[in-house]
Amino acid sequence: MVRRQLGRSQLQVSPLGLGCYPMGGPFWRADHDSISWRDDDGERFPGGWGEVDDAESIRAIHAALDAGINFFDTSDSYGAGHSERVLGRALTDRRDQVVICTKFANIIDEENKLYLGHDASPDFIRASCDASLRRLNTDYIDVYLLHWSNFEGDVDPVRETLNDLVAAGKVRWYGWSTDDPERIQKLAGSEYFSAVEHVLHVLLDAPEMLALCDEHDLASIIRSPLMMGLLTGKFSADSTFPEDDIRHGWNLAEGRGAEILSQLEAVREVLTSGGRTLAQGALAWIWARSPRAIPIPGFRTAAQVEENAGALEYGPLTAEQMEKIDNLLGRTPG
């Protein structure tokens, strides 16, 4: 498998990574991380993807390794620490074969499976790093991302703390998980700043962020490349989700949900050309969009990982296919 350099770092990663958010299992948020077309009531909101089977998660990670995938993205917030723990178990004796990306600035109550907010103070960052190292059963983190998309505080103390962690050998490179290019500009010039994690998928382009990554030689880690499963084609207007699933309350019969299903149907033929599944076509669109892009689709089963890994055999969409998709969606080519 042809590797990609992760931005300005010396890390070589597979063009496809694994997003370990779903395997964290259920947890609850005290705040409302709203999705515009979901409406929840009450004081707590689901943060996870419902119940998971840890043994199956580990089988899926091993299937990814067997397929040549070596990049794994998680966070201390996923399952309030559970995702990191399972990933650490799965990579026992294989740590030197992989690149691990995890995230910080999340206040979690691991025992009660709660996410309670953000903190990016130096002391909290250092404590969070040590806690992630313990859960991951490793002594270094390859890529450490600020997991506070709209952080508005002074970035200098964050940068200095991260540089200290690099000097201590606990972190190799760092970055930011955000969809705001202006925020990235604040850290982009830092020596060890190598990656941005942001949303990009066939129905939502991000030309400004991709241009910024080109300008500063940053990796583009693509979160939610399959729109939490919507771009796989397995959901319909009648689909519902359990109460402990972050997608609970999604309405796919009308509004934004119905619009997404309609847009997906419009580009289905192009995405599935050449024998691809819908998911494989959606990943192929991302690879065609930018050579820096590393999609990290979520998973809960080994079968899902194997299907996504199969997209690597087809490679990116052609320029003609990309243009056709833009025309079908009525947008200007990126």
CATH number at residue 104: 3.20.20.100
Q: Evaluate whether residue 182 is within a structural domain.
A: yes
pTM value is: 0.95
| pLDDT of the residue at 35 | 44
d(CA 193, CA 174): 5
Q: Is residue 17 a part of any domain in this protein? A: yes
The predicted pLDDT at position 34 comes to: 45
Contact (Cβ atoms closer than 8 angstroms) between residue 52 and residue 43 = no
Domain count, the chain: 1
pLDDT at 156 over 70: yes
Is residue 41 situated within a structural domain? yes
The whole-number average pLDDT for the span 290-317 is 97
Which band of pLDDT confidence, cut at 50, 70 and 90, is reported for residue 20?
Answer: very high
Sign of the CA dihedral 237, 239, 242, 244?
A: negative
What rounded mean pLDDT belongs to the chain? 94
pLDDT score at 253: 95
Q: Residue 259 — very low, low, confident or very high, per pLDDT cuts 50/70/90? A: very high
The C-alpha R_g of the chain, in whole angstroms, comes to 19
83-119 pLDDT, tens per residue?
999 999 999 999 999 999 999 999 999 999 999 889 9
pLDDT tens by residue, 173-221? 999 999 999 999 999 999 999 999 999 999 999 999 999 999 999 999 9
For 266-303, the pLDDT digits (tens) are 999 999 999 999 999 999 999 999 999 999 999 999 99
| 69 belongs to a structural domain | yes
Q: Name the residue range of residue 231's domain.
A: 4-329
When pLDDT is averaged across residues 41-52 and rounded to a whole number, the result is: 79
Judge whether 148 lies within some domain: yes
Residue 334 lies in a domain: no
- Chain segment 26-41, per-residue pLDDT in tens: 999 876 554 433 444 5
Q: What is the mean pLDDT of residues 56-71?
A: 98
